Structures are given as structure tokens and as C-alpha cells.
Structure 1
Amino acid sequence: MIHKHAFEALDRTLKDILMPDCSNSEALPFGGKVIVFGGDFRQILPVVPNGSRQDIVNASLSSSYIWNKCKLLTLTKNMRLTVGMNHGDIDKTKEFAKWLLDIGEGKLGGRNDGEAVIDIPQELLITESTNPIGNLINFVYPSILESFNDPNYFQERAILAPKNDVVHEINGTLLAMFPGDHKEYLSSDSICQSENVTDHIRHNVYPPDVLNGLKVSGMPNHKLVLKVGVPIMLLRNLDQKNGLCNGTRLQVVKLGDRIIEAKVISGNNIGTRTFIPRINLSPSDKRIPFKLQRRQFPIAVCFAMTINKSQGQSLSKVGLFLKQPVFTHGQLYVAVSRVKSMDGLRMLILDVEGNVTNKTTNVVYKEIFSNL
């Protein structure tokens, strides 16, 4: 998901540092240092705000001048599915692994030139039409009211959706089901003092209630509602050395007025307790005509998360809620390949009229594979 410009900047920097007087510096990528890239072009590509298909493909590493100097090594075994597999499920697991690759490479649903409608196997679907969302929640979080105190319960479960509005809807539903009193935290929002904005515009055109209403991807909302025991996700790097990074999942232990105590439930520091303070956050969203500064806890409730946020995680139970279909390359592949077994995945797909269906859109930009 990293933009090719980041790699190219590192390439030029290492050449400048390591080979300032060498005439053949241009011939040695990264100044002669060996660099190992790890990734899968079937997965989500770099995010380009308002970018077209061509912009997204062009931002990928395979479109960089560096790619022609890379030696490609291919991994062929799905270790996520293999570890812990029962011997009786070998054929079933192989079939599921092949189905995942076919989704990632756009081989299902006929000719795929960017988008194709595919049929999902019946055994992966939530088909109950009376209360489909309740069935999806019960699959991922069975007996949640009895089990939430179990330190391992939330570690490998998540509901995934393509867009934030659906994620907020699911999180709100589960938060309401959760026992205990809730606590509200309101942010302090302002226009950054570095912005060249007159006091009239600052106070009249963009008053606090307007700033409070802004919902920006990657930023906590103005109103944050939490309960003790609820799973949360960090939205910023707080302490990388100790594993408190963007995407780390935690469980709330105590809710203070100015600080939140939580324990880590993902990564290499599971069980570690930490304190999360309010910090100043500024989005990089170019659609906002000024620089917003929001002082809030850098967290979000994460019973559900976006597919993009789930990339890189391994989960035992995944519920994929497609109220609207995926909208960019690799999203469907990432969502369905997070699980460690086929039995750990269920999908709830709704059509434009809100009815349960077995068909959904798969987006694959096949030109990304042309240089592989």
C-alpha cells in the first residue's frame, strides 16, 4: 500500500549517502544495499485521494523504475490457512485457497476488466432475511455478554465493511448491546493557528458546531462513546517501540476524565496495559479547505473495521458486511483472505433494495500483474 515515491526517495537518499563520489552510482539501486520488499499485488494498492484507476496503478511499486531492477521471489503456500489445519480438511482448504487466489486475480465471474459480478458459495453466506445483521453479529461474537471479560475473546474476531459509515453503524449496534454505563468524550476542534484565516471567517463561517460535524477518515469523531471492556483501535502511532501503532487493537480497562487505560489484544505485546491521552490531530484530507485541528483520544471502537484497516491481520472469525459492494482493487480479496479457515468466514450481501443476495462485485485491475 506504500506509494512508489516513498521507495524512490529512499533510493535517491541512499545513493547520495553511500556513493557520493562513485561514477556508477546510478547502476546500483539503493546505493548497493540489499532491500527486501514484501507484498501481494492482489491486495489493496496505494490509496490516491480522488484518484482514477490509472493513478492508483501508477502509484504502485511495480510502476516504478526500481521494479525493473528487482529479483522476484514467489511464495506459493498459504500459511495462514495451513497452520492449525486438520488433516481431514486438506482438500477443503486447498479448494478454498484456490478460490481466494481466483478472487484476487479476477478469474471469477467471467471477463473482468476492472469489475465483475461474482457468485459467492452458499456455505459462506448469511441467508437469514428476518434479522441478517443480528445473525452476522452472532456468528462473529457469539455469547458476547458472557464472554467479553475473557482476555482472548476479541483478539481474532472482527466484522469488516468497505466504508466507514457502515462500520460506525455496526459499532453503534454492538456498543448499545454491551453492558455497563457509557462515557462520552467530546473533542476540542479549531482551525489551526498556522492557517491564514481572518477572525470573521474563523468564528462565523466555520463555527465550532461546523467543525464538530466533520467526519474525516482516519480521525476520531467529535463525539466518542465508550464502555469498559469495549475493543478499540489506535488511529495514530503513539509508541512504536512498544507496539502502540496505527491499527493496534486494545480493550478498554478504565475510563478516566483525561486518560483511558487499555490493554493490548493484538500484535506482539498482548496483555500489556497502557494509558492513552488526548492528542492534537490534523487530517490530510485535501477536500477540507483549511487545516483542522482536533484534540481527542486517537482511538475508535472496533467491533467492526474497514477492510483497508484489516489488511495484514490474521483472524479466526470474520463477518463481511457488504451493504454496498467493494469499490477498489483488492478489497474483496483482502476481506475474505483474513481468516485462518473457511469455517471462520461468513458474508452478508445486500442488493440495492436491501435484500439478501449471493452476488457481489469484485474489483481487480489486471494491469497491475503485467510486470510480475
Structure 2
Amino acid sequence: MSIARKTHLRGLTAAVLAVMLAASGAQGQGLRQPDFPAFNPDAVPQQGEDGALFNLRMSDTRRPPEWFLAIYSGTTMGTYFYVASGICRVLERTFTEHRIHCVPLRSSGVGGNVTLMNEGRAQAVMVQTDTNYYAANGTRPMPAARSGASLYNETAVLVVSKASGITSITDLPGKRVNLGPEGSGTRSLWMDALKANDIALSDLGEVFGATQDSNVLALCDGSIDAFASWIGHPSPFIQSAVSRCDAQILGMWSDGTASLVDSQEFLFPQTIPANTYTNQSQDVASYGFKASLVFHRDTPDYIVCNTVRAVALNADLFREQHPALSNFDPSEMFAQGNALEFHNGVKIFLASQNCPEVDFEIKDPR
């Protein structure tokens, strides 16, 4: 007895997909792949293209094949956890098409996700496009990692006090700015942005190195004039600054920033749409990253193909899962931010506009 699964791709054309595929992974293909730990992912049973390989007899002796996906994301307070949960929600709603169970897993963030991938413990992780890029060129290797898709923008936003007189990043000289702790990702991004705009640390009125969770309080009590974040929007964190002390939302686009974006393949011009935040009546021009889904190369093609397919074909459902996904555009999933070679499951989706047909045969394990 079997249940034939029949699927039909909607929306993306073959021509567009072919262009996306040809443009991807150019940097990663020529690298020598070093040895890396065996693939032994957390939280899922052993499985292959034909489904999970259960070692114990199921109480239900007539069990159709099924597959399992666990996505390492970030802290439960962060956007990555909710985006991974959103992917799993889409797979849950479309379960009868593919029979893939999905669970989001907490992690310490991008750095922890890279470690988990390199230890062979992760099927899939959330990272930023700079991590994807530096893995592809060998600067920060993830030899077993393969691109899955870019999912949403993480856009730079400059948040300033109303009394500061700041209208752009070029107005920062003489102002009190929290750049984040030395050695942090935020500090590194700040240094790149300041350098691109010919602003030295000595040009600032006062430099603070407090953690990001201090920003709203410091801005609203008058201790600083400005802070910046590279995040998905809308962000409750940013809205709290607007609501508490009428903070102003600015982009970080300038002639200098444009040159920075042109010089870095993992950065892109981006816009925070009008009315994303209270009293923000116009679009805000800025720049930023993409948040990317990356798979271990040994994650079954079947799982990867059906995961990206489900998200691409159920864009409205995916957008509902978190405010940061409200502007999700499936046409950009494979077009930006995927410096690592695409996973073979993604290549199957791009080349065929579909995933392999499967007969969900009910198997008797006896």
C-alpha cells in the first residue's frame, strides 16, 4: 500500500533559478576540503534518503517513512530562534507532502553554531552572510557547511536621541556613542562603518563599550547620544527606545557606506520600510547582511530540498511567523548571500524546480 506524493512548484521560473544556481558557490568550489569530524547530529535519529533508520521496533508495525530535521538557531530571546521555529512551522503545516519532522534548537548564537557545524553535531544552523562568506574563502572555515538559503535582512539602524542633532552617520563627530564591548561583533561592525566614513575614534566626543542591552536605558537617560544595531526589523528592542524617549530612527547609508558595501560581497543595500516604527513616516536607507540557513553537507538531500521548497512555496505562511520575516521575498532566497556552495538538495530544487517524487510506502519492520 502506498500514498503517492505529487507536487507542483509555483512562482519561481526555471530561467531565474538557473541564473541563481550559476552565480552561487563560486568562491567555495576551488578550496581544498580539510578533514572534519564525522556527521553525528544532535536530537535526531540516524537517517538517510529513505527516511529514519530506527533501531528499535515501533509500537506501530505499519509505519510510513519519515525524516527529522533539527535547526540550531540562537537564544530563545533572539530572532534566529523564532525564524528557525517558523521554518519548522511551515514544515509542520506541509507535513503530508514530505513527512519531515522539524525542531528548533537553542544555541549561543552564530559563533556557537559554527562550532556545532564543525563538530558534526548540526544538520542546519542559522548564520549571517559574512560568516557564510568567510567560510567560503577559508578565513573562518566550515568545511562541511553548504548554503541553504538567505531568509531576511539584518539591517543597520542608527538610533539617536531627539536632542542630539544627529541626522546621519556623518554627524557623529563630537557625539557620545556606545560602540559595544571591544572584541564584540557590534564593535567590529562599528569600526568598519566609521572607517568608511573617515571618522576616527578620537573624533567622537566620548566612546562607550557597554553591551547592547544597555543601549536603550543609556540613550533615554541622556548618557549617550547614539547607538547602532544590525538586526532584523521590526525589533521590539528598537521600538522600546522610540516609545520610551522618542528616539529617532536613522539609516547608516552614506557615500562612505556605499563604498564599504561595494567592497564587501556579504553586505547589501537595504531599506527599513516606512512605518516600521512609531513616527517613522519615510523609508530609511541603510545597509546590512542577510540571515542565512546553512546545512551540513551530509544532511540528506531529501530533507534539504523539501525544506527550501516548503519555505519558497509558502511565503505568506513564513512571513506570519515573526515580524522580521514580514518582508521575506522568496526570489532572494538563492540570489544573495550564499557564498558557500549550495547543498546538493538545493541544487536539485533549483535545477528541477521540484524535489524527487516519493511513494510513502507503509513499511512493516518485521
Common fold, TM-score beyond 0.5?
Answer: no
Q: Which one scores higher on RCO, CA 8 angstroms, separation ≥ 6?
A: 2
Q: Normalised by the size of structure 2, how large is the TM-score? A: 0.25
Q: TM-score under structure 1 normalisation? A: 0.24
